[in-house]
Structure 1
Amino acid sequence: MIRLPELLAPAGSPQALHSAIAAGADAVYLSGKRFGARKFAANFDHTALTEAIDYAHLRGVKVYVTVNTLIREEELLDLAEYLVQLYDLGADAILLQDLGAASLARQLVPDLERHASTQMTIHNLPGALYAAQGGFNRVVLAREVTIEEIERWGQKMEKAGLGLEVFVHGALCYSYSGQCLLSSAIGGRSGNRGMCAQPCRKPYVLMHGRKDEYGRPVGLQAVAQKESYIISTRDLSVYRHLDKIVRSPVQSLKIEGRMKSHQYVAIVTSIYRRALDGIARGSWSPSKEEERDLALAFNRDFTSGHLLGAKDVMGRGMSDNQGLLIGSVASYDPQRGEAAVRLCASLVPEKGDGLVFQSPGQEMGLVVQKAIEKDGLVRLRTPDRVRPGARVFLTGSTALARRAEEIAARERASIPVDITLTWEDGFPVAEGRLDSGELAVARGESRMEEAVNRPQTPEQIESQMRKTGGTPFVVRKVEMDYPGGLFSPPGALNQLRRDLLAGLEKAVLEGRRPASDRIREAKDRLQKLELPARRAGEEWSRPKLSVYADRLDILKGAVEGGSRRIYFEPLMEKGRKDRDRIETILAQLLEAKKLCGKAELIWKWPRITRDDFIDLALPLLSQVQVNGIMVENVGPAWAIKEKMPEMPIYGGSGLNVWNHLTAQALAPQFSWLTLSPELSSHQLKDAASALRALPGRDGNPKLELVVQGSLEVMVAEDSVPQLAKGRSSEEFWGLQDFKHIFPLKVDDEGRTHIFNSAETCLIDLLPEICRIGLDGISLDARGRTESYARQVTGAYNQAIERTEKLLATDPAPLKEGLLDLKARIQPLALGGITHGHFLRGLKD
């Protein structure tokens, strides 16, 4: 028998939960009203969550609760209470992004399973091993991980006791999950808080030009593109290749869609359920009809995704539901306002269906009111004129919706029960026993009397006891010691049956919840939880100034401007032989060390570090003369510590450090950590203050904030500028929406990085930053020039000197001087300047 992975379905609402279970899901994932990464789904309040978990457990289905947003310092106590509440309710697992939240869960509810959300951006083997070492039971891998990588990791995952979960169907993010700040930067709605506005689904214009001496664009021109949705992906569907996924070490197959309708959940889950059952029987092959229904449920055109090495992940032609092509317009009758559609598929539109007519320069949708079919043509009234040749897509099917409702209405009777009936002094007593050992007993409320005319037969009594509709139970057998000749109103036996089944439900649910003493222990731990008090006062510190550089000339400018630490991300030149790449890296780091002089040199690794990069870079650690390594993901940090424990590691903003518990969790690996750019000054101060308040503070990582530069808002396995067949460091590429231009960069491994349209500049707020008590501030000069790095670094050094000298004694001239420095560097900025979230924070 083939080992089947779990089928995990989305439940964004109670209706979707019922549909997923009826359709055959082994487990569902859902969210409460807080801390879930789909804030705009219906979700579940406390009462609904209690009912949802009970409903699922009674039908043998697991419930995983998403707690996968990043957590602010002031939310930690509320989160702690919520985690204990979920444990008490019997949640089977929680999904987490925030490492501080994971640490808190491990402390309070250690036997509640923890799953690492895809928002943790785990995309390499060391990252998975880090999760296993950190007590996670399962990792939801980044969607960019391939099945070949998963197969290579299989034995190590089994040895580590770590399950692997992958997405198999639904929407894809353009960026690596957990690394997307585009919605946050544009409108303050952060995907890390469940509020993504999906700017990747908007149209953009690809812009190209040259860079001036400061790296700013000049001579910008639009690059003609056939398609406008440049960063919109297709939808994932591995249905056709499901047997290959089943044979891999994957433990769980996840369907995306907590924002989708319950009908979508019913159709998609049922199709994957039938496929998995067919694979288990050894008799499955992909069905064209099932693929058609998956497309009708919702699609932006399908791809098998990075998981299966597809090259067609992008769907730049459109960003909404494409539906299914069913024909084209043969003619249009303007008198009748009627289009004749020649069908190319077996589907005939019916009343209530949604259609879209597409032709160059025109897209029109309608709901079918009446359709007349004759001789392969369907005649439809349209609100506007449509052109002959226009393609017609079915985007909403009433027939499919009816089928979805039929699926959702099924009762999943999954628990067999054996019933034994006896009579004690004329009172019927029913005992129900389950295979899992649970037992319940119910006693009739009234005595069965001697029958005058028609005594009840054993067959009639058994028939009454077998009526379990609306419950998860199915009666397997009924045994009775019936004396005969008795009568009871049907309602009395019905009540006996209901009491018995209620007792069995209670027994089942108690068996799925933690034992009462374990719940009491968790609540005691919550009562004793002590979070460090946030200090009301200010803690002034002079921050150390660091600069990010990706070319030697930029590094030189930063050092000349007075930077005492350089985070250098050298050219990697993927595509060349490893030996040549190694020589290039070593040569650049050697030259960088010479240029740094007394300044520290930190070798910065890419934000995305796949296994091949780690395998290439790790052996070089013993050959390079650097003061540390900077990484932006837990995987390479784990690998470096295994290889060279004494190497100092610096954490970039990709680690999403929002609170002191996250910093504390990373302390064993990291010497320095960069706080998230999504935090406000108040939230930064709370986190820094809480970390300082911990005992043994000298062992905690030092904290830094990026105060200048273009914020990276996306990183994706896509090469947008390669659409125009060109790429060099002297060229500028960008995406223009209706108002702004977002700079682009394609790195040496072919990934696209997108940056905010306005450059972060906090130089005028340096006094507030110093009062937070940070140990360092940094400027990001990557992609700019030597002149930019020199002048901006020099300006910040002057700002630090002035702040230290005048803050306590003469704040008015200090403010004026900082504004002068800001005015000096503002013209050098890329696309204007912004305070980012420092003053106002995110919208939630």
Structure 2
Amino acid sequence: MTGKYELLLPAGEMDSLIAAVKAGADAVYLGGAEFSARKKAKNFSRDELTKAVSYCHLRDVKVYVAINTLLCDEEVLAAFSYVEFLYEIGVDALIIQDLGLAEMIHQNLPDFDLHASTQMAINSYSGAEVLQEIGFSRVVLARECPLSEIEKISKLKIEIEAFIHGALCISYSGQCLMSSMIGGRSGNRGECAQACRKTYDILDDKKNAISKRAYYLSPRDLGTFEEVFDLIEAGVYSLKIEGRMKRPQYVYQACKTYKDILEGRDFSKDKEELTQLFNRDFTKGLAKGDKGKDFMAYERPSHKGVGAGRVKKKTPKGYLIEFMIDIKKGDDLEFLDDKDRTFRILAPFEAKKFSTYEFSTTRNIKIDSEVRRLTSSELIDKINTEIEKKKDKRPLEIKASFLKGKKASLEFKSGTYKAFIESDEVLQGALKAPVKREKIIENLSKVGESEFYLEKVDLVSDDIFIAISRLNDLRRRGLQALEEKIVKRRKIPKKFESKKFAKVEKLTPGLCLEVSKTQYLKNVDLDKLKRVYLKNDAISQESLEYLKNFDGDIFAVLNNIYYSKEEDEILKKLKDLGFKNVEINNLGQVEKFKDFNLHIGSDMNIFNSYAANFMFSNFSNSISLSEEMDGQGIATIDKKISGNLERTVYGHLKIMTMEHNPLDLLELETNSKTYFLRDGLGAQFPFLKADRTEIYTDKPIFLLDILNEVRSFGINLFRIRVHFKNENAAQLVDMAYEAIKGNTKLFYDKDLYDRGHIYKGII
């Protein structure tokens, strides 16, 4: 490692970790079998983690373990116990999403480095500044973060980590509820079902189809390649390659490719081989200005391999194929049939570049269609051989003194690490046959099964006698002592303590209304409301004029993503308009908007009482908990906190925030109209462009008929969200008001509405 950067590789299993280390990684990140956001990866058991840390540290490679899922109350203490285990085995840092767990670690293990996961959606200077203040040593920035913002963040002391290669999420990480709202599988819990890799068609504001079906939410893979130097120049220290789900050969080749780039070697062949291993086409990323067709893999969401040839014509036995690359037996080839469906075969033949081959098959293949190679058997064999041949043991020097009348003393040295040991007994002179000098050196040199290779032995000795078994024991003890020095295991410094949190005054229960346009306030009986939340276009003088006689609290709702310039603009606007109350939806906003009375929005993903108490003690007296929480989880939190909890009881929930606009793929101009993405089951998800593109649930949440049950969970603020012109805010407020008093019976129509997660929770 040069000191200017760190090349950080993924490891979903031990073979991938070994591949990364042998390819030259400076650090690896991985997940254990517990609390990891990549639950589909093989991941590491506790025994495997112990071995992984030893293997890496003995090769001067750091290990970061991801605990980057949201934790429910029942899991937090178990997660901390797991953290203690990771601390003891010498893990270098943790990648964390949950603020409650982070606070607990800061209090009890203050020297354990914490990296803020990209799941925290930190994208700005103010976000990184807050992380630095609360004790994080590194921020993993949102993939969308532009170079100009990175340059500002680099002025802080916190380290910057950024992705340079691999799969992309279309939504800001941590801000996607689409998978959980469709099927209950939460990306925030490591169970994302990848709704972004499905086909959709686009409907206009009148719900007329204006496109063919395509993968409108499926981005290409990030590939910065030589432009990685722009990130380093901007201040990025840790260069992260995505891929905990990828196989070892991919991990090895990705590391090798970027090592060659960073060290100034020709990487053209490496890039070709990495492309063969996995690609959806590459994008330089949103931060570099790619968008629309340059950013999206809208024709296919999966690995596309490389072009291999073309089907020329049908023959009596099958088809004549002209190949543009060499084909080996066992290559995974993809064909297109006469109905435009793909199928794959493992090549039972070999063919030379620019040759033709008659392929015998009974399948109907489309004439003039492209043949693609998804896997090269020769490349896999080549990489496996390289990994196998690479030696990665540490150099070892031994200095030994075997002098009569003294204890045997030995120094084992590897790099800057040293370990000293002595024999238990004083050495005696030999009465008959002394142990020969050559024999001592021979036995000390038997390090073959250890993690070291011997460079030299310096020996000072007299004519002494020592049993060979004692000599071997000294060697084993010395190697073990040196290994322990390098691996850096630790002991828990003190008994666990739980922090005492401040109590917050409880508000009387009440209704809250959120609107995104002033016109949605029309005819609303404001006397029935405790709070009004103004979002996007509704943050205006017109709205405030309409609400001038409102006795409750008026909040401006901040969007979950702002960059520094945008933050400054919205801050000035709110001050000019005279707002006193603000809902924040990103951790970075707590510092920038600290002079306002704050409400914690649901985009902050508060999922347990520890995180809630952290917020109550430091920033706010009211919280909208994560919309992924069920009623029982809310009730558990309510018993352990002193503060005010809010829940959406009506409204379309935002399930994605993204820089990408699907309309760009149709080359339509961005406008303020509502469009829809229709999935394969007919569900229609509205999306609109505010500061960024926001996608909403296909059906509104409807809990108005069970408000008193929701109240029994501990909720005392009930929010109605109105963002679309077909919704009648006045009617909804009247219905909710009567429901709270128990004066009306409402009918829940499952064809029109959804319960969200209030009953079913998430996986």
TM-score by length of 1: 0.83
Q: Aligned AA for 2:186?
A: S
Once residues 374 and 634 of structure 1 are traced to their aligned partners in structure 2, the CA distance between those partners, rounded to angstroms, is 55
Once residues 660 and 323 of structure 2 are traced to their aligned partners in structure 1, the CA distance between those partners, rounded to angstroms, is 38
Q: Aligned AA for 2:575?
A: S
2:225 is aligned to 239
1:312-363 superposed Cα distances (whole Å, 9 cap, x missing partner): 221111100011112222334342x3542231xxx41211111112477232
Do 1:606 and 1:631's aligned partners in 2 also have CA atoms closer than 8 Å? yes
Once residues 322 and 256 of structure 1 are traced to their aligned partners in structure 2, the CA distance between those partners, rounded to angstroms, is 18
1:581 is aligned to none
Do 1:413 and 1:471's aligned partners in 2 also have CA atoms closer than 8 Å? no
1:841 is aligned to 761
- State the 1:136 CA deviation: 0.4
SS class of match (1:81): helix
- State the 1:570 CA deviation: 3.2
Do 1:631 and 1:650's aligned partners in 2 also have CA atoms closer than 8 Å? yes
Is residue 609 of structure 1 aligned with residue 536 of structure 2?
Answer: no
Once residues 166 and 566 of structure 1 are traced to their aligned partners in structure 2, the CA distance between those partners, rounded to angstroms, is 38
1:356-392 superposed Cα distances (whole Å, 9 cap, x missing partner): 1247723221111212338633454456232332112
Of 223, 246, 254, which aligns to 2:210? 223
The structure-2 alpha-carbon separation of the partners of 1:376 and 1:255, relative to structure 1 and needing over 3 Å to count, comes to same
Is residue 822 of structure 1 aligned with residue 747 of structure 2?
Answer: yes
2:416 is aligned to 436
1:260-281 superposed Cα distances (whole Å, 9 cap, x missing partner): 11221121122222332x1xxx
Once residues 592 and 673 of structure 1 are traced to their aligned partners in structure 2, the CA distance between those partners, rounded to angstroms, is 26
SS class of match (2:606): coil
1:513 is aligned to 489
More helix by share: 1
SS class of match (1:203): coil
Q: Aligned AA for 2:416?
A: S
- State the 1:106 CA deviation: 1.0
Is residue 679 of structure 1 aligned with residue 666 of structure 2?
Answer: no
1:772 is aligned to 713
Once residues 206 and 375 of structure 1 are traced to their aligned partners in structure 2, the CA distance between those partners, rounded to angstroms, is 41
The structure-2 alpha-carbon separation of the partners of 1:721 and 1:307, relative to structure 1 and needing over 3 Å to count, comes to closer
Once residues 35 and 87 of structure 1 are traced to their aligned partners in structure 2, the CA distance between those partners, rounded to angstroms, is 16
- State the 1:589 CA deviation: 4.6
Once residues 253 and 203 of structure 2 are traced to their aligned partners in structure 1, the CA distance between those partners, rounded to angstroms, is 41
Do 2:584 and 2:601's aligned partners in 1 also have CA atoms closer than 8 Å? yes
Of 281, 288, 296, which aligns to 2:268? 288
- State the 1:42 CA deviation: 1.0
Of 346, 351, 367, which aligns to 1:372? 351
1:314 is aligned to 296
- State the 1:607 CA deviation: 2.4
Once residues 120 and 677 of structure 2 are traced to their aligned partners in structure 1, the CA distance between those partners, rounded to angstroms, is 27
1:479-519 superposed Cα distances (whole Å, 9 cap, x missing partner): 22367999999x9988765554233213323xx123x4xx1
Once residues 320 and 428 of structure 2 are traced to their aligned partners in structure 1, the CA distance between those partners, rounded to angstroms, is 73
1:510-537 superposed Cα distances (whole Å, 9 cap, x missing partner): xx123x4xx141xx1x2x44799xxxxx
1:407-461 superposed Cα distances (whole Å, 9 cap, x missing partner): 4335554643321244456998753123434214476999999999xx9885x97
SS class of match (1:86): helix
Do 2:430 and 2:463's aligned partners in 1 also have CA atoms closer than 8 Å? no
2:253 is aligned to 267
SS class of match (1:409): helix
Do 2:398 and 2:412's aligned partners in 1 also have CA atoms closer than 8 Å? yes
SS class of match (2:706): helix
Once residues 473 and 378 of structure 1 are traced to their aligned partners in structure 2, the CA distance between those partners, rounded to angstroms, is 51
Do 1:590 and 1:625's aligned partners in 2 also have CA atoms closer than 8 Å? no
Once residues 250 and 414 of structure 1 are traced to their aligned partners in structure 2, the CA distance between those partners, rounded to angstroms, is 30
The structure-2 alpha-carbon separation of the partners of 1:757 and 1:470, relative to structure 1 and needing over 3 Å to count, comes to farther
Of 572, 575, 592, which aligns to 1:619? 572
Q: Aligned AA for 1:351?
A: K
2:598 is aligned to 649
Q: Aligned AA for 2:209?
A: A
Moved more, 31-40 or 384-393: 384-393
1:611-632 superposed Cα distances (whole Å, 9 cap, x missing partner): 2211112223332133411121
1:807 is aligned to none
Identity of paired residues, percent? Answer: 31
- State the 1:98 CA deviation: 1.0
Do 1:420 and 1:480's aligned partners in 2 also have CA atoms closer than 8 Å? yes
The structure-2 alpha-carbon separation of the partners of 1:545 and 1:384, relative to structure 1 and needing over 3 Å to count, comes to same
1:19 is aligned to 19
Once residues 558 and 744 of structure 1 are traced to their aligned partners in structure 2, the CA distance between those partners, rounded to angstroms, is 24
Once residues 430 and 580 of structure 2 are traced to their aligned partners in structure 1, the CA distance between those partners, rounded to angstroms, is 92
Once residues 368 and 513 of structure 1 are traced to their aligned partners in structure 2, the CA distance between those partners, rounded to angstroms, is 50
1:575 is aligned to none
Once residues 353 and 648 of structure 1 are traced to their aligned partners in structure 2, the CA distance between those partners, rounded to angstroms, is 62
Of 695, 699, 708, which aligns to 1:758? 699
Is residue 297 of structure 1 aligned with residue 246 of structure 2?
Answer: no
Residue-pair matches, total: 752
Q: Which runs of 5+ in 1 are unaligned?
A: 211-219, 533-538, 573-584, 693-699, 803-813
The structure-2 alpha-carbon separation of the partners of 1:487 and 1:108, relative to structure 1 and needing over 3 Å to count, comes to closer
Give RMSD over aligned pairs. Answer: 3.2
SS class of match (2:80): helix
Is residue 801 of structure 1 aligned with residue 741 of structure 2?
Answer: yes
Moved more, 627-636 or 366-375: 366-375
- State the 1:292 CA deviation: 0.7
Of 546, 549, 557, which aligns to 2:515? 549
1:762-797 superposed Cα distances (whole Å, 9 cap, x missing partner): 112212211123230101101234x61111111001
Q: Aligned AA for 2:332?
A: G
Moved more, 440-449 or 673-682: 440-449
Moved more, 60-69 or 82-91: 82-91
SS class of match (1:105): helix
Is residue 406 of structure 1 aligned with residue 385 of structure 2?
Answer: yes
SS class of match (1:10): strand
Q: Which runs of 5+ in 2 are unaligned?
A: none
- State the 1:732 CA deviation: 4.2
TM-score by length of 2: 0.91
SS class of match (2:690): coil
Is residue 565 of structure 1 aligned with residue 531 of structure 2?
Answer: yes
Of 187, 190, 196, which aligns to 1:191? 187
Q: How does 1:40-55 map to 2 (within 5 A)?
A: 40-55=40-55
Q: How does 1:324-335 map to 2 (within 5 A)?
A: 324-335=306-317
1:88 is aligned to 88
Do 1:441 and 1:500's aligned partners in 2 also have CA atoms closer than 8 Å? yes
Moved more, 674-683 or 440-449: 440-449
Once residues 628 and 223 of structure 2 are traced to their aligned partners in structure 1, the CA distance between those partners, rounded to angstroms, is 33
- State the 1:599 CA deviation: 4.2
